[in-house]
Amino acid sequence: MEDKPHKSGYVAIIGKPNAGKSTLMNYILGAKISITTHKAQTTRHQIVGIFSDEDTQIVFLDTPGVISPRYELQKAMMKTVERARSDADVILFIHDPMDKHPTDDVIELIKSINKPVFLVVNKMDAANDEKARKSAEQIQEKLKIRSTHYISATAGTGVQELMEDIRGCLLPGPPFYPKEDLSEHPVRFFVSELIREQIFLQFHQEIPYSCTVEVVSYDADVDIDRIHADIIVNQKSQKGMLIGKGGTAIKELGIEARKSVEEFIGKQVYLELHVKVREKWREKEGWVRNLGY
């Protein structure tokens, strides 16, 4: 029997905010490398996740949800979607069949990409079968779809079949990254993302969307990693909300963020957080670029 040729390729995960793009990538990798919350636009960067087995390497590009950008930060987020368009060999269009709003923005974007497109109808653990099939048919009428998969990214139903289908589309080639790598981002990147995830979980309204996190220093020692990070807010009034009365809010944020960072790196962490005001950083291209977007 002949050996299977090694295959490799790039797969972009595209869809509306909150369709389950990050959840799907985390499930495939068996590790949490993309932060997920129930709030839209949690993902801001293009997160690169690397799936490897003996004869395959698939580099997933988890993109921010497709939106019409209103300010510089959102424009930077949409550029990562453009990057996925040029790098990807295959497009996964993730669709939430329970979403009441039309998916026209995504359909327009995908129409202009000449790559194989898989329609991935997610959240089938909660969706009504018939409604899901109807909404998939509406998309199939507008796009050239290679095949449609009905899955649950949280439960993992249908993901194995999807992976086999993706593999069938890839060309023979060597791996792009060492097989043990899960991502190309450094640990500092994940630390700032995990702190940002806690801000999304603990604060409401505009706060999570106005904040970014910068890891100022990261000293790894044998038994403990010491991390200092700044939380940057868009206006002065938000600083008080983040700190809370007598420092209670920032203390709670620090405790929860430390736990998730420790879980991620598998060792003890000392985490120090400070809040800094950078007036209207989201609107200023220079700041958006300086802060890594």
Residue 179 CB burial class (10 angstroms; 0-12, 13-18, ≥19): exposed
Most confident among 79-83, 205-209, 212-216, 267-271 (mean pLDDT): 267-271
User: Which residues are documented as binding site for GTP?
Assistant: 15-22, 62-66, 122-125
Same-domain pairing of 16 and 158 = yes
Overall domain count for the chain = 2
Same-domain pairing of 148 and 240 = no
How far apart are the C-alpha atoms of 285 and 218, rounded to whole Å? 26
Q: Which of 146, 172, 198 is the last residue of a domain?
A: 172
How far apart are the C-alpha atoms of 119 and 117, rounded to whole Å? 6
Q: What is the pLDDT of residue 37?
A: 46
Is 32 a member of any domain?
yes
Is 207 a member of any domain?
yes
How far apart are the C-alpha atoms of 110 and 118, rounded to whole Å? 11
Mean pLDDT across 256-282: 86
Confidence class for position 39, pLDDT limits 50, 70, 90: very low
Give per-residue pLDDT as tens, 189-221.
778 888 988 888 888 777 777 778 888 888 888
Find the domain containing 224 and state its range. Answer: 187-290
CATH number at residue 59: 3.40.50.300
What Å distances lie between residue 273 and 7, 95, 133, 155, 216, CA to CA?
43, 37, 47, 35, 10
Confidence class for position 31, pLDDT limits 50, 70, 90: low
Most confident among 173-182, 234-243, 250-259, 270-279 (mean pLDDT): 250-259
Same-domain pairing of 194 and 127 = no
Most confident among 105-114, 219-228, 280-289 (mean pLDDT): 219-228
Q: Which of 48-57, 67-76, 132-141, 190-199 has the lowest mean pLDDT?
A: 67-76
Mean pLDDT across 159-187: 87
Is 180 a member of any domain?
no
Q: Phi/psi class of residue 270: alpha, beta or left (left: φ > 0; alpha: ψ in -120 to 50)?
A: beta
* 155 close to 126: Cβ distance less than 8 angstroms: no
Same-domain pairing of 193 and 62 = no
Largest Cα separation within the chain, whole Å, is 70
Is 82 a member of any domain?
yes
Same-domain pairing of 13 and 48 = yes
Q: Which of 118, 139, 172 is the last residue of a domain?
A: 172
Confidence class for position 65, pLDDT limits 50, 70, 90: low
User: Which residues are documented as binding site?
Assistant: 15-22, 62-66, 122-125
Look at the block and give the residue holding tokens 């990050």: 22
Same-domain pairing of 163 and 254 = no
